[in-house]
Amino acid sequence: MMITHDTRCALDAVVDLLNTAPEGEAPGAPDSLTAVPAVEDFARRNNFSDVGTLGPDDLAAVRRVRARFAEVFAAGDDRTAAARLNALVASAGTTPQLTDHDGYDWHVHYFAPGASVADRMAADGGMALAFLVVAGERERLRRCEAPDCRHAFVDLSRNRSRRYCDSRTCGNRLHVAAYRARRREAAG
């Protein structure tokens, strides 16, 4: 599956945003998006340019966008996902524009200049997710299968076989536990 740089960045930002929610971690984990500095850090970490000064209204709006992205990941079928994405992208007031900022070649931003950080996330992230639906690849939107982790991820493996948000942590931890259980059983 061919994914452009800007689409990949938008998908990564969606996943990062989803994983700030409590359901993105072990049960009872705290929400890591509870204050304006957390939104500022998120925007900086995901290379959002020209964000401007953020306030409590931005925090609330970003949390609403996060909830809507979670609904797209939870959609049971393409039609439901498409309806949720259409509503999300429309609410952001998309205005596609070609741009070549910050050393990147020409690419498309789907938000209007001066759009809020939440509208930028909704427009660019919504369109990136829409491309997956159009390509028949919605099943690549996943949650980690580790029982104590619900992190979101986009499975970009060639054969769509990825099961864990991070094979070095969740996947390895489960494989080691299974190995130890087999050894205990064999020794038993």
CB atoms within 10 A of CB 123: 26
Residue 169 burial by CB count (10 A; 0-12/13-18/19+): exposed, middle or buried? middle
Residue 150's pLDDT band (cuts 50, 70, 90):
confident
Task: Give the predicted TM-score (pTM) of the model.
Answer: 0.85
Predicted local confidence at residue 149, as pLDDT: 86
Cα–Cα distance between 140 and 155 in angstroms, integer? 5
In terms of pLDDT, which residue wins out, 51 or 89?
Answer: 89
Task: To the nearest 10°, report the CA torsion of 75, 80, 81, 82.
Answer: 180
Return the closest-CA partner of residue 32 out of 135, 151, 182: 151
